[in-house]
Each structure stands twice: as structure tokens, then as C-alpha cells.
């Protein structure tokens, strides 16, 4: 029976970062895929990158059919991504079929429009450069010359059939009017194409969010839903394949120091080497100091440490570290520290995520710290921030590197932040820093709330900060309500009375 089954559809790796993950291997080979999106959704960038990646990564030649922009404009516009189209043309790897309107050309409608001549030009170009990939940008420009939907459907079917006969893997770009609604402008394009992909550029809470969705992949599996993507200068489109993340990283029992001897004891001997740690606290409670000690502890053992700072400048961080007895300058000179300071507002969360992953790949650190994760909430929608957190933590876990994140609570006395809501379930350890008001004096408290896979100290311990860093002391006695931001002193008599309430239930 299995002898008569047709062979499964093969896929062509596109080379576009993340795209081959969400398509389970690339575009169906020898078929036509419709790329639909509103103005500014990056259809042309996708089309050019599809051909450019083929040339650079697979040595596949390509033909670009342009109906709107002139070849000169496309060469110039795409240069910012580092794609030298003119050089590819000289090498015989790229050919344009220019069907863009000419300024001196008068449009005369005389009889029905025929694509025969255009298809002949495309076929000639395909044979000339021996192309395996074709991009047509965009269909809307030629469909305006057709009288009705029936004609559009017939001509589109004719284009798709002709490309299939040429044996090329092709993409056709098409316009749509709204981000959600009809797939394409004429309502027939999606029924003719074997595969349909939608690019979106949605405005949410005054923030743009780009996503890609595979709507149809005839006869072949793919990942479902919308995936965020960004467009990076010098890189092009980069997709964040969240659903392709796998929990396959190994686990280690090796402990590393937090940089504070007493905190190591509270954590049962230090953090695990491949764990994600969240440090939560209000402004001024000592989060940046915890980060500084974490880095100093690693650098003292010759480990490479990478710090992403989103709230303080490089000079501020160096000054603060010096004030706690830590020499960041020396660590940098020895090659054990790399510090990257950036305002969250300079880019979107997808750009930050891609950039951070690239920095991690380049520096190959043993420890990573982000101070503070909460600052990135300002530039992201709720969904975008959640995707950023999941994307970053999963990447660090996959690298089996220790990652320490700080999160700022919304009020001075505590409370849960949006950051904590998104990251608390994926972290292995949570350390909470809190202000404790007692008798007109503000003190600081620290507790290890969570330590996955290890016993740990459950007490809330008082700590102080001086020129030598953090000093963790004894537990707060007879005080309750610290973590919820409402510390109250309880007399010993009351503690004894509460202790007797449950004795009967326990049979004491």
C-alpha cells in the first residue's frame, strides 16, 4: 500500500532567521506562496531577503519581478540591510524583470490584458540565471488592469501554473486593506495560491507590533498562530519562533556563588549554574547591588559576565560598583565583563531581544544579568513583553547559562509587578527585597521565596548596605506582613496564643 503513496512535499530553506522554524523547514519547494500584508508590513523586504538569503546561504540564483518600484530604487532601498543586489547581478545570481510603470508612459486600455509576454520574460530570466527562486512584487499593480474578479482569478492561476512549470519556488506579494479581515485586496488571491502567509504591523497602545502568521500550507505541517518579528538594520527580517522553543536543555547540580556568602547559605549553597534568578524589590532596596555582587562573584573566579543595563549609564554603574568596593574597570580590562547600557525607548522589545541574543552569542558569557527587566515594560504591549520575557529566558536556559534579572515593584513597600507576573513561573529562584518600616525607621529585609530543586532558608532576614556591599543579618522576629507591604509588630503573647490555636487539630 505504501508503495503507491506520493512522496511528501519537500521544503526549501529560506535562510530568513526564525522563518524555517515556524514553517517546519522552509517554503514548500516548487510551489507558489502568497505573502499578504498592508502598506509598510515588509512584503518587499521579505521578497528581497528570500532571494538574497538564497544566494548567500544556498547558492540559489533568483529572479525579482517588480511591478511598482524601479530596480534602481530597490537596489538603493535594500542597501541598508547590507544586500548588494548590483554585485549579485554582476555575478549572474540575480535578474530583474522590470514591469514597473515608466514616467513617460501613457496608460492606454485597449482590449483585455494579457500576461503572456510577461510570463515569457520571467521564463527567459529564470533560464538566464538558472534561478531556483522567484519573487513577484506585487500582484496588486497588475490586477488594477483587469476588469473583474473572474479575470483576476484566471490570470493569477495562470501565473501560479507557469511558475510551477518552470520548477521554481516562488513568492507573490499582495496588498490587503486591513490588518484583520479579508486576506487580500481582491478576495481571490488566497484561493489560488498553495500557501498563504500574512504579515501584520498592528498599532496597539501607541506601539507598533509586527507579526507573521502562516494561514495555509497545503499538504504540509507548520506552526500555528502569530509570531513576532522585527526588521534589523544590516540583518533584515528576524522572526522570534516562540512555539518552536523546546524544553530539551540539560540540568546541572553544580552551584555558583551569588557573590554574597550569606546569601549562598540561604540558597542552600548558591545558585545552580544553569538557573534563572529573579530579584524583586522597590527602587533603592539593593537590586543593582545584588547584580554587582553576582557579577563580582563570577569575575573573581575567572567567569565571563555580561550585564545589560536599561536604567543607569555606564558611568553611573561604574561609580556605584566602586562605592561598594567592586572594580568594574579591572574586570573589563581582564576581559571578564562586558557592559551594555541602552535606553529601552531606542527600540521595540523584539529588537532588544534579537540584539541581546546576538550579544550573548558573540561574548559567550558564563553569567548574564539584566537590570532592570521592568524598564522594558514601557516600550512593549502586555503581549509583546510576555513574548520578550519567554524568548529571552528560554534562550538563556538553552545556553545553560546563569541569568539574573531584576524587577521593580510598583510601590515602595512591595506588591506584585507586571514583570513578576510574566517571569515568576519560568524562574528557578526568586529573591525578594523589601523595605520594612519599624518604629519610624526604614530597614531592609531579604528572603529567598523560591529555590527550585533545593532546600533554602525560609526566614525574612534583615540586611544593611555599606561601602563593602550587602550584609545579611538575623531574621525579623515578631513582625508579620513584610512581603505584602504592611509590616506589623506582634507581641510574644500573641505569637504564643496563635501557636495554641492549632494544637487541638494536630492532636497535641
Could you give the residue numbers annotated as active site? 68, 311
List the one residue out of 435, 484, 426 whose CA is nearest residue 277. Answer: 426
From the CB of residue 58, how many other CB atoms can be counted at a distance below 10 Å?
15
| DSSP bridge pairs for 17 | none
**CB neighbours of 495 closer than 8 A, spacing ≥ 6?**
478
Cβ-based burial of 44 (10 A; exposed 0-12, middle 13-18, buried ≥19): buried
Locate 4 and state its grid cell.
503507491
Q: What b-and-e string marks burial along 357-392, b requiring 16 or more CB atoms within 10 Å of the CB?
A: beebeeeebbbbbbbbbbbbbebbbeebbbbbbbbb
The beta strand positions in 247-328, using DSSP E, are: 255-256, 271-272, 276-281, 305-309
How would DSSP label each residue in 241-257? -GGG----------EE-
Indicate the SS3 state at residue 49.
helix
Strands 488-489 and 276-281 come out as unpaired
List the one residue out of 386, 463, 395, 396 whose CA is nearest residue 425. Answer: 386
Look-up of cell digits 529601552: 344
- 441, 297 Cβ separation under 8 angstroms: no
Look-up of cell digits 522590470: 98
Indicate the SS3 state at residue 467.
coil
Indicate the SS3 state at residue 51.
helix
How would DSSP label each residue in 475-501? EPPSEE-TTTT--EE--HHHHHHHHHT
Q: 86 to each of 58, 358, 409, how far by Cα in Å?
A: 19, 28, 53
DSSP state of 365: -
Amino acid at each position: 500500500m505504501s508503495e503507491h503513496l506520493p512522496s511528501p512535499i519537500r521544503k526549501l530553506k529560506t535562510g530568513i532567521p526564525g522563518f524555517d522554524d515556524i514553517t517546519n523547514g522552509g517554503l514548500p519547494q516548487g510551489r507558489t506562496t502568497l505573502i499578504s500584508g498592508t502598506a509598510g508590513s515588509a512584503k518587499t523586504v521579505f521578497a528581497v531577503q528570500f532571494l538574497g538569503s538564497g544566494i548567500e546561504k544556498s547558492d540559489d540564483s533568483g529572479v525579482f519581478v517588480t511591478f511598482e518600484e524601479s530596480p534602481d530604487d530597490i537596489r538603493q532601498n535594500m542597501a541598508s540591510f547590507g544586500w548588494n543586489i548590483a554585485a549579485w547581478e554582476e555575478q549572474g545570481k540575480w535578474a530583474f524583470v522590470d514591469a514597473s510603470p515608466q514616467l513617460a508612459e501613457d496608460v492606454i486600455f485597449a482590449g483585455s490584458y494579457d500576461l503572456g509576454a510577461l510570463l515569457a520574460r520571467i521564463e527567459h530570466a529564470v533560464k538566464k540565471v538558472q534561478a531556483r527562486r522567484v519573487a513577484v512584487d506585487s500582484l496588486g499593480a497588475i490586477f488594477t488592469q483587469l476588469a473583474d474578479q473572474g479575470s483576476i482569478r484566471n490570470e493569477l492561476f495562470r501565473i501560479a501554473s507557469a511558475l510551477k512549470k518552470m520548477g521554481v519556488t516562488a513568492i507573490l506579494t499582495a496588498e490587503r486593506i486591513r490588518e484583520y479581515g479579508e486576506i487580500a485586496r481582491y478576495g481571490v488571491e488566497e484561493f489560488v495560491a498553495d500557501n498563504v502567509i500574512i504579515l501584520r504591523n498592528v498599532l496597539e497602545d501607541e506601539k507598533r507590533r509586527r507579526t507573521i502568521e502562516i494561514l495555509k500550507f497545503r499538504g504540509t505541517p507548520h506552526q500555528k498562530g502569530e509570531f513576532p518579528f522585527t526588521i534589523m538594520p544590516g540583518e533584515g527580517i528576524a522572526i522570534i519562533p516562540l512555539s518552536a522553543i523546546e524544553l530539551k536543555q540539560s540540568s546541572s547540580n553544580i552551584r555558583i556563588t551569588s557573590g554574597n556568602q550569606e546569601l549562598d547559605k540561604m540558597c542552600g549553597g548558591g545558585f545552580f549554574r544553569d538557573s534563572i534568578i529573579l530579584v524583586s524589590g522597590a527602587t533603592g532596596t539593593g537590586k543593582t547591588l545584588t547584580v554587582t555582587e553576582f557579577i563580582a562573584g563570577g569575575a573573581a573566579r575567572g567567569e565571563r559576565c555580561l550585564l545589560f543595563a536599561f536604567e543607569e549609564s555606564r558611568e553611573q554603574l561604574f561609580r556605584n560598583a566602586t562605592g561598594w568596593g567592586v572594580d568594574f574597570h579591572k574586570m573589563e580590562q581582564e576581559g571578564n565583563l562586558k557592559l551594555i547600557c541602552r535606553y529601552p525607548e531606542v527600540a521595540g522589545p523584539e529588537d532588544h531581544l534579537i540584539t541581546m541574543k546576538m550579544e550573548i552569542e558573540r561574548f559567550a558569557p558564563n553569567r548574564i544579568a539584566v537590570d532592570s527587566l521592568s524598564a522594558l515594560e514601557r516600550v512593549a504591549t502586555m503581549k509583546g513583553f510576555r513574548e520578550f520575557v519567554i524568548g529571552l529566558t528560554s534562550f538563556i536556559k538553552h545556553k545553560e547559562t546563569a541569568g539574573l534579572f531584576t524587577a521593580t515593584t510598583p510601590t515602595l513597600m512591595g506588591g506584585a509587578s507586571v514583570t513578576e507576573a510574566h517571569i515568576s513561573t519560568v524562574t528557578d529562584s526568586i529573591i525578594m527585597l523589601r523595605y520594612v518600616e519599624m518604629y519610624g525607621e526604614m530597614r531592609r529585609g531579604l528572603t529567598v521565596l523560591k529555590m527550585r530543586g533545593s532546600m533554602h532558608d525560609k526566614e525574612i532576614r534583615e540586611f544593611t548596605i555599606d561601602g563593602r556591599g550587602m550584609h545579611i543579618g538575623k531574621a525579623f522576629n515578631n513582625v508579620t506582613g513584610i512581603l505584602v507591604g504592611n509590616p506589623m509588630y506582634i507581641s510574644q503573647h500573641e505569637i504564643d496564643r496563635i501557636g495554641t490555636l492549632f494544637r487541638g487539630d494536630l492532636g497535641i
